[in-house]
Amino acid sequence: MSEDQPVLGSQPSAFFSEADEDYEYEEYEEEGGSSCEKIKILVFRIGDEDYAVRMTDLQEILKMHEITTIPRAPRHLMGITSLRGKVIPVIDPRIRLKVETVDSSEPRIIVLSGEGCPVGIKVDRITGMFMIKPEEIMPSLNTLTDEESRFIDSVVRVEHRFVSILNLDAILEI
Partner 1 sequence: MSEAREEFVSEAEDLLRETEDGLLDLQETLSKGCNPDVLNGVFRSIHTLKGLSGLFGQRGILDLSHAMETMLDELRLGQRELTEATIAFLLKNLDILKKLLGEIFKEGKELTSVDAALEEIGKFRDEGKGREKEVKNEPGCLTGIPEEITKVLSEYEEHRLRTALKKELCLVTVEAEFELVSFEEDLKGLIEKINQLGELIATIPKTLGVLPGRIGFDLLVALNTSLSKAKEALKLWSVNELVPSPPEPETTSSILPAVNIPTKPGEEIIQEPLLKSGSSTVRVDIGKIDAILDTVGELMLAKGAVSRIGAEISETFGFGPFSVDLQKVSRILEKRLEELQNQILEIRMVPVRQVFSRLNRVVRRYTRDKGKEIDLQLFGGETEVDKLMAEEIIDPLMHMMRNAIDHGIEPAEERLAAGKPVTGVITLKAFPKGNHVVFQLTDDGYGIQPEKVLAKAREKKLIAENQTLDHDGIVKLIFLPGFSTASSVNDVSGRGVGMDVVKEKVSSLGGFIDVETEPGCKTTFTVTIPITLAIIKAVLVSTAGETMAVPMASTSETLSIEPDMIQHIEGKEVIELRGKMLPIVRLAEMFWLYHDRPRERYFVVVVGFGGRRIGLLVDSLLGQQEIVVKPLGERLEKIKGISGAAEIGKYKVILVLDVESLMEEAMLSSQTIKADSDGLGA
Q: Tell me which residues touch partner 1 (CB under 8 A).
A: 3-4, 65-66, 68-74, 77, 80-82, 85-89, 114, 116-117, 119, 174
**Nearest approach, Cβ of residue 10 and partner 1 (Å):** 17
Of 74 and 139, nearer to partner 1 (C-beta) is 74
What values do phi and psi take at 29, rounded to 5? Answer: -65, -35
Query: What residues pair up with 158 in beta bridges, in sequence order?
Result: 161
Residue 10 sits at the vertex; the CA angle it makes with 55 and 129, to the nearest 5 degrees, is 35
Of 38 and 65, nearer to partner 1 (C-beta) is 65
**Nearest approach, Cβ of residue 117 and partner 1 (Å):** 5
What values do phi and psi take at 143, rounded to 5? Answer: -90, 0
**Nearest approach, Cβ of residue 119 and partner 1 (Å):** 7
Pick the closest to residue 68 from 54, 51, 80, 59 (CA basis): 80
How far apart are alpha carbons 50 and 135 in whole angstroms?
Answer: 20
Pick the closest to residue 171 from 91, 68, 64, 89 (CA basis): 91
Of 47 and 114, nearer to partner 1 (C-beta) is 114
Of 64 and 144, nearer to partner 1 (C-beta) is 64
**Nearest approach, Cβ of residue 3 and partner 1 (Å):** 7
